[in-house]
Copies of this chain bind each other. A is one copy, B any other.
Amino acid sequence: METYKHGIHAYLEYQKQHPFTGKPGELYDPANYILSLGGKRIRPVLVLLGYGLFKSDIENAMPLAHAVEVFHNFTLMHDDIMDRAEVRRGEPTVHQKWNDNIAILSGDMMLVKAYAAIMGLKTDDATKVSLSQEFGRMAEEVCVGQQFDMNFEDKSSVGKDEYLEMIKLKTSVLLAYSLKAGAKLGGASSEDQNTLYEYGLNIGLAFQVMDDYLDTFGTAENFGKRIGGDILENKKTLLWIEAQKRANKEQKEALNLWYATTVQTQTKIDEVTKVFKSLNVDQYAQNIMNQYFEKADDIINALSNRIDTKILKELASDLKQRQS
């Protein structure tokens, strides 16, 4: 792999060659459908990069890369039901295109298939068991994160720390697992595995804070979905949490009035964004994000004198520059 983009390309080729097959179609088609909708494929690429730090026969890591992408898409399929989301990446969500029952069951099957992919790896049994145990711990954390996220909807206030803990569980642990698992399969020492896990956690946190930022302050043509979606859904993002802290009485009233409604107008987006901007929470989110990227940088530097981490840094750099 010369660049991580080669990794994405190779993974997509693998995915194309390994569709879900079987009857009935209602069980397997939705899995192929959601995987076909695209996405950055950052999780499978992290597996390949983690593996590639220690071994060169990348093909061997493909089933593991597929496992994390299938798992990720299983969570999307179930989350979309829970969020009553109608659109994913410009196309109908699975429960919209089919129905809730099919989205539940097809997602269940995908979780089973993710484990099966790990068990099918060409490696020793001890590694399979270890990869599977850590996969399970990660999967449970993702469930915990999703439940906290749902609970936040009904809470009148959410603190910064509990918000960051939630996104760590819901998003970062899967990125961290992906990188670590790839490295483990590649034969990395426990110490290197743990270093890469910490690196992945910080990249993941930066990634999710950036998502929050772009959802409000990105540009629609780059972001690929409507700017302001989080505001319309009254989501208590980092922007919202910090704005609550910084707002004067009048601003606070304005924010809370808008978030007390389910109005879906551009005016709501514009007004809330205006308050956010006046409180500089856009800058605040960028600072937090940069802190995570810097922490990730520090962590990876501990490895860089022994291992060529160029590709990993290249990926982090592109993630930092991303507009979508």
A132 to B147, CA, bound (A): 27
A24 within 8 A of B: yes
Q: Contact string, A96-128, partner B, CB cutoff 8 A, digits 1/0? A: 000011101101110111011001100011101
**A81, A113, A147: most-surrounded residue (chain B CB, <10 A):** A147
* Contact yes or no, B143 A105, CB < 8 A: yes
| A24-B147 contact in complex given A115-B136, A125-B129, A136-B116, C-beta closer than 8 Å | yes
| A82-B111 contact in complex given A119-B136, A129-B125, A144-B22, C-beta closer than 8 Å | no
* Contact yes or no, A129 B119, CB < 8 A: yes
* Contact yes or no, A108 B143, CB < 8 A: yes
A306 within 8 A of B: no
A interface SS class: helix
A23 within 8 A of B: yes
| A143-B24 contact in complex given A104-B82, A129-B119, C-beta closer than 8 Å | no
**CB neighbours of A108 from chain B (8 A):** 78, 107-108, 111, 139, 143
List A residues 259-277 near B (Cβ within 8 Å). Answer: none
A146 within 8 A of B: yes
A148 within 8 A of B: yes
Q: By the criterion of a CB under 8 Å from any partner CB, how many residues of chain A are at the interface?
A: 41
Pick from B22, B24, B107, B133: contact of A151, CB under 8 Å: B24
**A105, A144, A146: most-surrounded residue (chain B CB, <10 A):** A105
* Contact yes or no, A140 B113, CB < 8 A: yes
**CB neighbours of A140 from chain B (8 A):** 109, 112-113, 116
A150 within 8 A of B: yes
* Contact yes or no, A27 B136, CB < 8 A: no
* Contact yes or no, A82 B109, CB < 8 A: no
* Contact yes or no, A151 B109, CB < 8 A: no
